[in-house]
A = this chain, B = another copy of it.
Amino acid sequence: MLNAQIQAAWAGPPQCEHCGIRDLVLFSDLRQEDFVLIHKPIEEKRFAIAETLYHEGDAPQHVFTIREGLVKLVQYLPDGKQRIVRILKQGDLAGLELLLGQPYQHTAIALEPVLTCRIPLSVVQRLSDDTPRLHRQLMSRWQRALTEADSWLTELSTGTAPQRVARLLLRLHEFSRGKPVYIPSREDMGAMLGITTETASRVTAELKREGLLSQIDPHHAQLDIPAVRAIAGR
């Protein structure tokens, strides 16, 4: 049903035909007439695993929509340690802070092969100024990001190491619609959960031994969801 809307929005404007996908939702509320405001090209851009979409502090001119793959948003502590503050999945936006004249607040790194739409800032700004239909979408994105951030704090930075790992896995499970669940490197797990690489490894190894986590390839696995849910603590 949502797809229908999006399809309708994307079927029209020839400016975006080269974009080729229909699940980009930032513009899902736009109407035909709005698309004439898009005067600069929106480009498809791919990133390989571990490639950087942008660096914290950079101030270039593009916002990204994630179309495929997962992206981690990293922040660095004074002591050089890194903390992963969020994961972006299909449909999420990266670099929204540019809209407010801020430089990028994180470093965005591809966890999987990633496909993005790179949208010139001026396009979003123009649309944001001229079509109220985009406002709601943009606010909704901010709100979503904030809800995510809050729940990372309450769910992923609270409790014992096994609980945190379990909650992270459940979260990743929701991202993977049916497909095998993405399993981060132990180092990344640590940076997401505020624990060390070794602890992350010990916990995941134990899950494997118990048969709750069956590795399929180095970065994907099958999960025993009910059991994991039990560990997560509800």
A residues touching B (Cβ–Cβ < 8 Å)? 75, 77-79, 81, 83, 85-86, 96-97, 99-100, 102, 105-106, 128-129, 132, 135-136, 138-140, 142-143, 145-147, 149-155, 157-159, 194, 233-234
Quick one: which of B79, B105, B142, B194 contacts A139, CB cutoff 8 A?
A: B142
A97: nearest residue on chain B (CB-CB)? B143
Tell me which residues across on chain B come within 8 A of A86, comparing CB atoms.
150
Number of copies: 2
| Alpha-carbon gap, A151 to B73, bound state (A) | 13
- 25 inter-chain pairs at a CB distance below 8 angstroms, sorted by A residue, are A75-B150, A75-B151, A77-B154, A77-B155, A77-B159, A77-B233, A78-B233, A78-B234, A79-B233, A83-B154, A85-B154, A96-B143, A97-B143, A97-B147, A99-B139, A100-B136, A102-B143, A105-B150, A129-B132, A138-B139, A139-B139, A139-B142, A142-B142, A142-B143, A149-B149
- Interface residues of A, dominant DSSP: helix
Cβ–Cβ < 8 Å partners of A77 in chain B: 154-155, 158-159, 233
Closest to A76 in B: B154
**CA separation between A166 and B159, bound complex, in Å?**
21
